Amino acid sequence: MRAVAAELRPVVMRLSRELRREARALGITGGQVTLLFLVKASPGLGVRELAARERISPAAMSGVARRLERAGLVARAPHPTDRRRHGLTLTDDGERVLRSVKSRRTAWLAARLQGLDPEEVEAVALAIAPLERLLEEPE
């Protein structure tokens, strides 16, 4: 297992780095893209909840949220029952940026997949489900 992990880790890290580059071409960092995806999936969540989901400090998440708010990509909305709290929602510009990031990343991956043999593409396709299971939280 350790040998597979040692070979897989640098490949996954490099792939992640390449996909982050596609977002940076749009003027947004990988961390900001992650926050936009989280807000899209769970509109109205507060900074603390988002920080917990990403396992980063609330202060760090608050900084990312502030930058995205200043850029007009997210908006803060009052919590429906607790006036002290605010949740984040995507703006139209935030939605547009997410669509652009997804499009660029998908195009980058598709172009690389075209350079593989059909058997290699099939092997990648078969690896997707097990890789997704790696990301699941242990019970």
Closest among 49, 114, 99, 39 to 69, alpha carbons compared: 39
Q: Is the dihedral of CA 67, 89, 57, 59 positive or negative?
A: positive
Domain ranges within the chain, ordered by starting residue: 2-134
Which letter does DSSP use for residue 123 in this model? Answer: H
Q: What is the CATH number of domain 2-134?
A: 1.10.10.10
User: Per-residue pLDDT for the chain (139 aa), expressed as one digit of tens each?
Assistant: 899 999 999 999 999 999 999 999 889 998 899 899 999 999 988 889 999 988 889 999 899 999 999 999 999 988 777 777 789 999 999 999 999 999 999 999 999 999 999 999 999 999 999 999 998 877 7
Strands 74-78 and 86-90: antiparallel
CA distance 95 to 101: 10
pLDDT tens for 63-100 read 999 999 999 999 998 877 777 778 999 999 999 999 99
